Amino acid sequence: MQSTKILFFDGLCNFCNKSVDFVWKHNKSRNIYYSSLQSDFTKVKLPSLGIDKINLRTIYFYDGFRVYQKSHAVFMILRNFDGLFYPSLAKIFFIIPKFISDYIYDIISKNRYDILGKSDSCRVPTLEEKDFFL
């Protein structure tokens, strides 16, 4: 593994999977790995990082040092995108008080299955993605 950055997401959530597609597209440096919250890897890794209760409505991002959750996970992921636009946008988003950005995150998270639906099984990575899914 070239990096310890890991995005943990709900593998059954179509909205979450589309978000992973977006991250994959904009993280050309390929320094982010992916793991569904339902995976055996996640069930061991997140508790080892201090997350004892895994919430399927929460995205987690481990940057190699600490775990970010909800809106701050999203902002930290944006910081890893190529170019200037998304990393700059992330810096601006960090100005928003966490209780406000997490409130907006929670509204989207609560309705994520209504937005794009839910799959019966976790995402299967493409051949190109395979080495990055844990």
Residues 80-134: pLDDT tens digits? Answer: 998 899 999 999 999 999 999 999 999 999 988 877 777 776 667 777 888 888 8
Q: Does residue 101 lie in a domain region?
A: yes
CA–CA distance, 61 with 34 (Å, rounded to integer): 9
Of 100, 114, 6, 95, nearest in space to 57 by CA: 114
Q: Does residue 76 lie in a domain region?
A: yes
Provide the 8-state DSSP code for 84. S
Range of the domain at 30: 6-132
Number of domains the chain is built from: 1
Q: What band does 1 get if pLDDT is binned at 50, 70 and 90? A: very low
Measured in residues, the chain has a length of 134
Q: Does residue 12 lie in a domain region?
A: yes
Report pLDDT for 130. Answer: 80
Q: Does residue 123 lie in a domain region?
A: yes
Q: What band does 68 get if pLDDT is binned at 50, 70 and 90? A: very high
